[in-house]
Structure 1
Amino acid sequence: MCGLTAVLSLNGPVSCPQCDNKTSPQALHRQMDESLDLVRHRGPDARGQWFSPDYRVGLGHARFSIIDLSPAGNQPFHDNEDTVHAVVNGELYDYEKYRAELAHEYDFKSNSDCEIVVALYRHYGISFVSKLRGEFALVLWDAKRKLFFAARDRYGIKSLYYTVVNNKLLVATEMKSFLPFGWRPEWSVGNLLEKGWLWDTQMYFEGVHRLEPGQYMVSIDFKAPEVKTYWDLNYPDKKTPVPQTEEEIILKLRELLLESVKLRLRADVEVGIYLSGGLDSSAIAGMTAHLIKQGELLGNDSSGDISKMSCYTIRFGKDSGVDESDIAQRTADWIGVDLHSVTMSEEEIAARFEDTVWFTEAPIPDVNGMGRIAVGELAHSHGKKVILTGEGSDEHFGGYPDMLSKVFLEPDLSWPPPPFEIPESSQLFEAGREAIPPPVQSPDSTKRMLNNSSVFARVNSFYNMPFASWTQKFATENPETAFAEHFGAQVLSNISDRWHPLHSASYQWTKSILVNYILRYIGDGADMVHQIETRPPFLDHHVTEFANQIPPSLKIRYDPVHKVLREKYILREAMKPFVTDEIMNRTKLAYLGPSTYRENGPLYQVVRNLLTEENVNNLGFVDWHQLREHIVKGFQEGDQRCFRSSLFVAQLVVLSQRFGVKTATDPLQTEKREADQGPGTIAVLQARSHLPSLAPHFLGHTGSIPWQVTRTPELGMS
């Protein structure tokens, strides 16, 4: 839902005359309007902007109406004193409760769920963010306190990026919204080389960061902002026995999930379901049907007729090896609802290739993003605006092949041992088509930090493109160590000493692959292209805080009868009333697109047209000669590694062209050229090398963000 942009003029150092540049009010209004125009697909229903009287603060919002469709729900929101102003992207549940609690002290001007942000802030101060339940990104300005506040939901369902341009802090839903304000993107070569943008705050563009899940950013009196944590995942001590019985755990999990689905059915528009052949989406569909029978409304439909509940799925073709539409159809028939499918031919995939990269801003070498956009287009054509989805279940309940071995790394002391002998773990694992990548060679200290629970091998396998030789100067000694240390000392202490390895792996996956791949490329970034707001009931912090307490032995359980590991065992038991026997007994398969394409086919033509020698050299950091070999091996010989490498570089070319990214160059060669121009240039280079960390912002468009990040949960922890 929606897109937002915010601008804050920071205080600059006295020695920086260019930092005092004033942009005219007319220019600021134009920049804000152009910024919102770039995300008009996110907010076609209304647009609003507000600037402070001195034009040091600006808020912009493009609205997609879900709750309270009237103009009263348009943003920005303002309090009665016209001192607190806010823009919100997302959906906030439990808003009726807070409206009732605060009605005596705050004059609500709309029935929008998002207006509670202003009321809650006035009542609780910045701790209000811990009261919010749902998926959101928001920016708030308190004129009395000169306080600028931005926050992102607990899981990163909604995106929020920031950078500094000409001494202005820019915050936006999508990075492309920075362009009208004078941002000139440059590649972060080291970040791309080490895949840091898949797990760190720094993006693949220099000086562009994102708030991480459960974080907020605050600036007071136009000073450099600080980033802090208000919520984080937590797990119990692995040595502490769980007192509940298995039946009690099943019933409580079922209760919490039903409540989460119930909240997400509320909307003033039509609601549908994405349905695949897996447990997660099937359970969401089954619970929705159950709730409708209990009298709950399906969005704005008050008929109580289950047959009006529409489900949507993707067909990749029977020969693709990844098509689950037949299973989804059997589930829909069992529930008694219609299933609408979109068929993704190679032509359809190729036609959506470039736009998928532009809209999601996530270059991921898979074609499943194109499928997600296509099914959203189908749902949109049927009048749907809200769709319930199944993301987050695998992270909570050990659903990925990479996690299966983690349950056996240590005994589960929180749960009684089974009354049967478990065979050697090596005999149990069948990863299916989603092969587990080989472990990364890392120092023993890194393995100890992560207690052998690392999921970095999966992150590292996302792409392996041929980098130019000069980029190796950016290579860290061990990227897995950087990955581990990114989590901070307190989390690493929990991983090494307190959490069971399965929970440690769940934490890492949630903080990297879920937020930066799944929720962007096949989540909100793709869904909003055709104005579909997706709501994932598994990503509700009430559900998470209970699920994280469930013993690992109940998440992944050995079945001695069939002699197999059963992932998500406890979830299967909790969802038994809502799914078919086929779904109950089916092994999870990840949502992946086909990965074998013929040479000279539609996708090959798109990729080959993008990967010309000129386009690749314009990137500046890819070895063209090696890439040519990858293209041949990927399409002619079916080499999966080379296919994904070619796909990834083609996606970078799309970003390069549409964002207008400057060609990356070897910094040593650049310094040599500048040195050849005279001693004055050398003096400038030497002076710059000794500037404090704040300086890059005031010497150009980009640089390191000049604020501190702390992972100490200031406002609460699950």
Structure 2
Amino acid sequence: MCGIAGIISSFDRKETLKKMLELQRHRGPDNTGDYIDRGYAFLGHNRLSIIDLSDAANQPFSDNSSRYHLTFNGEIYNYKELKAEIGSKYIFRTNSDTEVLLASFIIYGKKCLEKLNGMFSFAIWDTKEKSLFAARDRFGVKPFYYSEAAEEFYFASEIKAIRSIKWARPNEKVWVNYFCFGSYGAPSETFYEDIAQLPAGYFIEYKNSNLDIKKWYDFPERIKNLSDNYSTSQIKEKYLELLIDSVRLRFRADVQVGFNISGGVDSSLLLSLVNDYRSNKKIRAFTFYTGDERYDELPWVEEMIKQTGNPLEKVQLRVDEVPKYAKLLSDLQEEPFGGIPTIAYSKIFEKAQQLNIKVLMDGQGMDEQWAGYDYYTSQSEQVIQGAGKDSSFKTNVLNKDFISYARKPEYSAPFESRLKNVQYRDLFYTKLPRALRFNDRISMAFSTELREPFLDYRLVELAFSLGDNYKIQGGTHKYLLREIIKEFIPDKISEAPKRALQTPQREWLGNELTDFVNESLAQLERSDFQSWFDHDLIQKEWRQYKNGKKNNSFFLWQWINTSLIASSTH
């Protein structure tokens, strides 16, 4: 897990690259390196050392001929198998997955992407062809931002690195859809004009100032080509086999590994699988709590841990800490993020960093592949989990000129099943992309790598491809998964309904944090974004909220978060 940056330019951009890397240093504090093909390319890298801790694995990494130069963010979990497959076709000089990735590209070309099981964004400069090849993993776990200007091409792991080169206006069409529909932009968009992101499962080829973007991972096509002739028992056996293998692969690291746990089904399963794999050593678990028994899952977590004996780090978010962390994360995210639950989650990574644990696992991805969210059984088009019946948005406070840009997002629906189409939306457009972005930024803020065993593409494809009745049956979500995991976790957990990850956000904002809200709203009115809103109507909504209308706080968080981001854009 690292930071990458690069500039393709005929000008001398060495100092510019240095500035980009300094802004991303939190992503990889162990080493900062660069490669310069003067007059053509400037590649940079911030390293967080996880596999092969030696200096020989530092990046940018060059092949034995010095023709190809790689800057890579992520992990190739099946690198040992790929290295064995490559065999004598390439002479390896390190034990790193970085070199295996570069060797795979040299031998297989762009087809190497199909062989990779991992999370990645990377760029390879070819000094002979004077061309750049860059790619992003199947689900977009690792970020890749880019921009073009005056025959130059810039890319980086974080938006701020590109914004340090060129000023970027807010993308008002993305912002207004966020306020009206909870959309965080299309797969290629950011909240800034002229700064794009490479969509998940796509690659870039850049040569002679020409940019070519192509899809390499066609998920609907993959699903349609999967066999559906398996019996229920065969599905259970196959899924469990893949699940165990996914955990095994994600334990590959030359540093300490821990894991995050909540009181839900997915975390409980991860706890069981982790302990099965490392039965001789109890891996450290992390969980957050706020001290509010209405929301905290600590009792469920402690009950599970009592049975397994794992060391448990209980990390508390106090209400008085929220303003500081909200500002810190807004500066790092640079785009809207998910509220106080995201802040609470970030404290886990801070604690892990203090304990020198560089890798954490979590249970992200099960709900999207197995239809775990409550709205999957309704006709609702809701994209905000746990919002209830009240609207998450207050479009009445938006300026008429600004709201005229709003367009309700439309999502591809390539499947005959409505359920599959909603799952597809969540996997590639809404739930998963925003969760992965939030989690990448908060883990990297504290120089910690986050791994998601349940997002192994083999698992996602198999579960997604199953008929609706395997996912929801008799009102039970994740039906077959619950059947599969019964041997691993107690019935009272395996049969428990999905709970949204929550904190006392609604109560805190309306009570202990009223000064923080007041300051944020005042700051919003002074910001460059102030013309988007009718601030008298914002104050009216705020008064109603304080007077007891607290069923939903998402819109209030939107205004606070926007205020904090506006203050960090200068």
> What TM-score results when the alignment is normalised by the length of structure 2?
0.93
C-alpha separation between the residues in 2 aligned to 1:581 and 1:646? 38
Partner of residue 211 from structure 1, selected from 198, 213, 220? 198
C-alpha separation between the residues in 1 aligned to 2:523 and 2:271? 48
TM superposition shift of 1:530: 1.2
**Following TM superposition, where does structure 1 have runs of at least 4 consecutive aligned residues deviating by more than 6 angstroms?**
235-238
Are the equivalent residues in 2 in contact too, given 1:599–1:636 (CA < 8 A)?
A: no
Alignment correspondent of 1:466: 397
C-alpha separation between the residues in 1 aligned to 2:395 and 2:489? 39
Deviations 1:52-84 (A, max 9, x none): 132x21111000010011111110011122111
Deviates more, 1:187-196 or 1:68-77: 187-196
Alignment correspondent of 1:674: none
Partner of residue 330 from structure 2, selected from 354, 357, 362? 357
Are the equivalent residues in 2 in contact too, given 1:45–1:63 (CA < 8 A)?
A: yes
Are the equivalent residues in 1 in contact too, given 2:29–2:46 (CA < 8 A)?
A: yes
Amino acid across the alignment from 1:435: G
C-alpha separation between the residues in 2 aligned to 1:132 and 1:462? 40
The answer to whether the aligner puts 1:312 opposite 2:312 as a matched pair is: no
Label 1:279 to 1:465 Cα distance change in 2 as closer, same or farther (>3 A).
farther
Are the equivalent residues in 2 in contact too, given 1:595–1:640 (CA < 8 A)?
A: no
Alignment correspondent of 2:113: 129
Partner of residue 185 from structure 1, selected from 168, 191, 201? 168
Amino acid across the alignment from 2:532: F
C-alpha separation between the residues in 1 aligned to 2:493 and 2:105? 44
Alignment correspondent of 2:269: 283
TM superposition shift of 1:236: 8.6
Alignment correspondent of 1:198: 185
C-alpha separation between the residues in 1 aligned to 2:227 and 2:114? 29
The answer to whether the aligner puts 1:584 opposite 2:494 as a matched pair is: yes
Alignment correspondent of 2:506: 596
Deviates more, 1:79-88 or 1:363-372: 363-372
TM superposition shift of 1:191: 1.9
Are the equivalent residues in 1 in contact too, given 2:70–2:102 (CA < 8 A)?
A: yes
The SS at the match of 1:49 is strand
TM superposition shift of 1:434: 4.6
C-alpha separation between the residues in 2 aligned to 1:614 and 1:125? 49
Amino acid across the alignment from 1:379: A
C-alpha separation between the residues in 1 aligned to 2:114 and 2:395? 39
The answer to whether the aligner puts 1:76 opposite 2:60 as a matched pair is: yes
Label 1:624 to 1:616 Cα distance change in 2 as closer, same or farther (>3 A).
farther
Are the equivalent residues in 2 in contact too, given 1:233–1:507 (CA < 8 A)?
A: no
Label 1:472 to 1:180 Cα distance change in 2 as closer, same or farther (>3 A).
closer
Label 1:231 to 1:581 Cα distance change in 2 as closer, same or farther (>3 A).
same
Partner of residue 377 from structure 1, selected from 321, 330, 350? 350
Alignment correspondent of 1:508: 425
Partner of residue 626 from structure 1, selected from 525, 537, 540? 537
Deviations 1:140-176 (A, max 9, x none): 1112222211111111111111112443211111100
C-alpha separation between the residues in 1 aligned to 2:3 and 2:65? 26
Are the equivalent residues in 1 in contact too, given 2:188–2:198 (CA < 8 A)?
A: yes
The SS at the match of 2:372 is coil
The answer to whether the aligner puts 1:29 opposite 2:2 as a matched pair is: no
The SS at the match of 2:25 is coil
Are the equivalent residues in 2 in contact too, given 1:350–1:602 (CA < 8 A)?
A: no
The answer to whether the aligner puts 1:366 opposite 2:282 as a matched pair is: no
Deviations 1:559-618 (A, max 9, x none): xxxxxx111111112122221222112111121332323578553323322321674452
Deviations 1:347-368 (A, max 9, x none): 1223211111222233135211
Alignment correspondent of 1:703: none
TM superposition shift of 1:103: 4.1
The answer to whether the aligner puts 1:548 opposite 2:464 as a matched pair is: yes
Percent identity for Structure 1 against Structure 2: 27
Label 1:145 to 1:436 Cα distance change in 2 as closer, same or farther (>3 A).
farther
Give 1 or 2 for the bigger CA radius of gyration. Answer: 1
Alignment correspondent of 2:2: 2
Partner of residue 23 from structure 2, selected from 4, 27, 38? 38
Indicate the structure whose relative CO is greater, using CA pairs within 8 Å and at least 6 residues apart: 1
Alignment correspondent of 1:647: 557
Alignment correspondent of 1:230: 216
C-alpha separation between the residues in 2 aligned to 1:600 and 1:436? 20
C-alpha separation between the residues in 2 aligned to 1:432 and 1:545? 23
Amino acid across the alignment from 2:564: V
Amino acid across the alignment from 1:639: K
Label 1:627 to 1:437 Cα distance change in 2 as closer, same or farther (>3 A).
closer
The answer to whether the aligner puts 1:62 opposite 2:36 as a matched pair is: no
Label 1:200 to 1:95 Cα distance change in 2 as closer, same or farther (>3 A).
closer
Alignment correspondent of 1:296: none
Deviations 1:634-673 (A, max 9, x none): 34434345x432321222222222222xxxxxxxxxxxxx
For structure 2, the 5+ residue unaligned runs are none
C-alpha separation between the residues in 2 aligned to 1:281 and 1:614? 38
TM superposition shift of 1:125: 1.3
Are the equivalent residues in 2 in contact too, given 1:6–1:60 (CA < 8 A)?
A: yes
Cα RMSD between the aligned structures? 2.6
The answer to whether the aligner puts 1:535 opposite 2:451 as a matched pair is: yes
The SS at the match of 2:248 is helix
C-alpha separation between the residues in 2 aligned to 1:271 and 1:651? 32
The SS at the match of 1:218 is strand
